């Protein structure tokens, strides 16, 4: 029997409305509604088209609800914190929540074969909550202290931000890349089963931009645990974004070391003077100057002159080193899959059979290129060889 909820889930995952999907299938919107709500089953030719569109196996639509079967629905869309220029539409939020639900289900399956070390980000979050609740300091001071606590907990050097993405993954955050549009840089959330996620946009802007996105989302995960972002008015949303920005600046540019670096600058109102600091910290020139201004190191007049020069030089579009510093990509899930496949703890074919999807689906879901999976698919496909002739007799 056709299971309509599986169609609903995968349609939302891909961001299609019923009308859009109906147009792709050359059927009525009413028909899609009937399929999804169990009033009618699609003909086989429609199912074949659905397979092609969503890159899944036919059995996907005739099996128990995929998300219910392989995991719990652990995502509250209201908890998604966007690194974005504007508060996003309900439709976009629902799609991204569904994406994390599928990711969480995928993780449930591979975690049957592997056990992680203790998630240190959860421990850090509890320390942060306890500190904020008990401290009497003003909130800006609290943010500085939380940033220092986070940096220490991650084991980061106070001389650079090298390996930031690696350390976040190592300590317990699940980080993925995907296409999330040009208005959203990244987003983050805690699931109900205490998994921290950061989803990065895959538009390759710069290494410094990526570092700021990571630090900003870490700020949300630590400072805004289970805040209902979708219910915030624009003023409060802006406040939370500003807090995450302040955290990112304090986290990426620890005050004592940064003050030393800043005091060594020859002309601190000239953007060119910050290039070496950008190379050291992998933080944008704009963010370096903003941090200096925030700490009172760069007065209003000099900061205003700096921004005029920044605009004149075209650095608001592209800064020096943006095309030279390597942009780091998530690697934990790729490494886990490689371990499971190489050691034969799990085969790609079994994983695809469990998920009831094709290689292209899983590639898009986890943000790992198709060629990675095709290597392991080729490893599982057999050709007849001489070793298979043991039971044959030659006359």
Report helix angle 44-54 to 18-25, nearest 10.
110
Q: Which residue has the tokens 């005029």?
A: 308
Question: In a 3-state reduction of DSSP, which class is residue 37?
Answer: coil
Q: How many CB atoms lie within 10 A of CB 337?
A: 21
- pLDDT, tens digit only, all 395 positions of the chain: 999 999 999 999 999 999 999 999 999 999 999 999 999 999 999 999 999 999 999 999 999 888 887 766 788 888 888 765 555 577 888 899 999 999 999 999 999 998 888 999 999 999 999 999 999 999 999 999 999 999 999 999 999 999 999 999 999 999 999 988 777 889 999 999 999 999 999 887 899 999 999 999 999 999 999 899 888 888 999 999 999 999 999 999 999 999 999 999 999 999 999 999 999 999 999 999 999 999 999 999 999 999 999 999 999 999 999 999 999 999 999 999 999 999 999 999 999 999 999 999 999 999 999 999 999 987 655 555 555 556 555 55
Domain ranges in the chain are 1-63, 68-346
Q: For the domain 1-63, what is the CATH code?
A: 1.10.260.40
Q: Are residues 279 and 176 in contact, defined by beta-carbon separation less than 8 angstroms?
A: no
The side-by-side arrangement of strands in the sheet containing 196-201 is 81-84, 184-190, 196-201, 174-178
């Amino acid at each position: 029997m056709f299971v309509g909820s599986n169609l609903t889930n995968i349609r939302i995952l891909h961001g299609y409305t019923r009308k859009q999907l109906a147009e792709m299938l050359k059927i009525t919107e009413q028909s899609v509604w009937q399929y999804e709500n169990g009033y009618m089953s699609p003909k086989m030719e429609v199912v074949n088209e659905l397979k092609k569109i969503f890159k899944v196996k036919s059995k996907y639509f005739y099996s128990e609800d995929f998300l219910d079967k392989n995991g719990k629905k652990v995502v509250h869309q209201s908890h998604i914190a966007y690194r974005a220029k504007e508060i996003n539409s309900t439709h976009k939020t629902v799609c991204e929540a569904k994406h994390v639900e599928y990711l969480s289900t995928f993780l449930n399956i591979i975690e049957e074969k592997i056990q992680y070390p203790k998630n240190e980000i959860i421990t850090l979050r509890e320390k942060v909550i306890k500190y904020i609740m008990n401290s009497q300091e003003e909130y800006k001071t609290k943010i500085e202290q939380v940033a220092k606590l986070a940096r220490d907990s991650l084991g980061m050097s106070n001389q650079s931000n090298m390996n930031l993405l690696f350390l976040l993954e190592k300590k317990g955050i699940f980080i993925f890349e995907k296409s999330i549009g040009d208005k959203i840089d990244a987003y983050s959330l805690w699931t109900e089963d205490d998994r921290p996620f950061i989803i990065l946009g895959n538009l390759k802007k710069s290494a410094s931009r990526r570092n700021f996105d990571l630090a900003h989302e870490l700020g949300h995960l630590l400072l805004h645990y289970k805040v209902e972002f979708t219910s915030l008015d624009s003023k409060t949303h802006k406040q939370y974004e500003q807090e995450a920005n302040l955290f990112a600046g304090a986290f990426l540019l620890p005050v004592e070391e940064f003050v030393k670096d800043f005091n060594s600058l020859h002309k601190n109102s000239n953007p060119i003077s910050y290039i070496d600091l950008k190379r050291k910290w992998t933080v944008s020139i704009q963010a370096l100057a903003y941090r200096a201004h925030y700490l009172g190191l760069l007065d209003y007049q000099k900061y205003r002159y700096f921004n005029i020069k920044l605009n004149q030089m075209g650095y608001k579009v592209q800064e020096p080193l943006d095309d030279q510093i390597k942009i780091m990509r998530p690697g934990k899930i790729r490494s886990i899959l490689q371990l499971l496949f190489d050691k034969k703890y799990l085969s790609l074919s079994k994983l695809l059979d469990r998920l009831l999807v094709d290689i292209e689906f899983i590639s898009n879901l986890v943000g790992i290129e198709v060629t990675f999976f095709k290597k392991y698919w080729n490893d599982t496909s057999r050709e007849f060889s001489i070793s298979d002739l043991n039971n044959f007799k030659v006359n």
